């Protein structure tokens, strides 16, 4: 009996090793540019409308990455706290260079944000929950199928006032982690991490912007493929009011 099993073990041992060997980790490095405008318009003492528009380009600015719009309503009990609820839509460019069909994504989101200040440091913390319906593209064609996932995000952002002159910029350091949940999130519960370092400048109570470097490290659906996106980020922020009272200067952070 031993003589029978020995040849079988030798024959199937390479297959056993292949089955047990995980895929080697692949990291795709990209250079991107990401520009957006993020708006809050107050129409009552504690209520406002939010609206964002984002463009992200690959290969610096040469190729499409995505186009993104988001809208919603914001409850603002005071200058430190806001609660948002809304809808967003993304047009995602194909990663295959031979394809041309964009994938649609519909998204609902709920968000809570807290702003506090300690001396010369402003701290923004944000929790966001998203329900995402992502269109599946097969062979450069719309398949009529969608991938549904829940995604939870936590952002922590620190703004350091370096100069006493308010006309000079502040330094910003932030990090956001994004996690996927649901039946479709098999190999990538970790979705991505976004680290940003740059400057923030306020023109007036309505307009401000931040500019700097963002590193986006994202795990793909396969589980072993990753994108390392070296991103130039330039986000504009507009706070307005349709009331006679001056607009709030509450800090905002507008990542997609």
Which tens digits make up the pLDDT trace of 38-88?
999 999 999 999 999 999 999 999 999 999 999 999 999 999 999 999 999
Query: CB-based contacts of 244: which residues, under 8 Å, 6+ apart?
Result: none
> 145-180 pLDDT, tens per residue?
999 999 999 999 999 999 999 889 999 999 999 999
Is the pLDDT reported for residue 251 higher than 90? no
Is the pLDDT reported for residue 16 higher than 70? no
Measured CA angle at 162 (ends 159, 168), to 5 deg: 95
Kindly state whether residue 82 falls inside one of the protein's structural domains: yes
Structural domain harbouring 151: 33-241
Give the separation between CA 137 and CA 196, rounded to whole angstroms.
Answer: 31
Question: Domain with 87 in it: what CATH number?
Answer: 2.40.160.40
Is the pLDDT reported for residue 22 higher than 80? no
Is the pLDDT reported for residue 9 higher than 60? no
Q: Could you say which DSSP state residue 246 is in?
A: P
Q: Which helix (H) or strand (E) holds 11?
A: helix 2-20
Give the separation between CA 108 and CA 91, rounded to whole angstroms.
Answer: 15
> 178-199 pLDDT, tens per residue?
999 989 888 889 999 999 999 9
Cα of 181 vs its chain's centroid, Å: 16
- Tell me how crowded residue 83 is: count the other CB atoms within 10 A of its CB: 13
Give the separation between CA 100 and CA 220, rounded to whole angstroms.
Answer: 20
Can you give the pTM of this predicted structure? 0.86
Kindly state whether residue 19 falls inside one of the protein's structural domains: no
> 80-116 pLDDT, tens per residue?
999 999 999 999 999 898 999 999 999 999 999 999 9
Kindly state whether residue 1 falls inside one of the protein's structural domains: no
Give the SS3 label for residue 52.
strand
Give the separation between CA 172 and CA 248, rounded to whole angstroms.
Answer: 20
Kindly state whether residue 248 falls inside one of the protein's structural domains: no
Query: CB-based contacts of 239: which residues, under 8 Å, 6+ apart?
Result: 39, 40, 42, 205, 206, 247, 248, 249, 250, 252
Cα of 160 vs its chain's centroid, Å: 23
pLDDT at 18: 45
pLDDT at 4: 46
**Number of domains forming the structure of the chain:** 1
Kindly state whether residue 9 falls inside one of the protein's structural domains: no
Kindly state whether residue 26 falls inside one of the protein's structural domains: no
């Amino acid at each position: 009996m031993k003589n029978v099993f020995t040849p079988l073990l030798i024959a199937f041992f390479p297959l056993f090793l292949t089955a047990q060997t995980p895929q080697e980790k692949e990291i795709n490095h990209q250079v991107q540019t990401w520009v957006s405008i993020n708006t809050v318009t107050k129409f009552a003492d504690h209520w406002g409308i939010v609206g964002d528009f984002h463009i992200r380009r690959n290969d610096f600015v040469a190729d499409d990455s995505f186009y993104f719009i988001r809208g919603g309503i914001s409850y603002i009990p005071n200058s430190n706290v806001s609660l948002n609820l809304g809808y967003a839509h993304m047009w995602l460019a194909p990663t295959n260079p031979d394809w041309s069909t964009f994938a649609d994504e519909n998204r609902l989101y709920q968000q809570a944000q807290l702003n506090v200040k300690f001396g010369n440091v402003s701290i923004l913390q944000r929790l966001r929950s998203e329900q995402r319906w992502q269109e599946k593209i097969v062979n450069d064609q719309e398949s009529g199928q969608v991938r549904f996932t829940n995604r939870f995000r936590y952002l922590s952002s620190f703004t350091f006032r370096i100069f006493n002159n308010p006309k000079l910029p502040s330094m910003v350091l932030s990090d956001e982690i994004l996690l996927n949940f649901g039946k479709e999130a098999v190999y990538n519960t970790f979705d991505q991490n976004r680290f940003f370092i740059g400057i923030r400048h306020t023109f007036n109570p309505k307009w401000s912007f931040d500019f700097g470097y963002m590193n986006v490290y994202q795990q793909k659906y396969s589980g072993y493929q990753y994108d390392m996106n070296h991103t130039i980020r330039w986000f504009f922020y507009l706070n307005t009011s349709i009331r006679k009272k001056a607009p709030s200067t509450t800090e905002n952070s507008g990542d997609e």
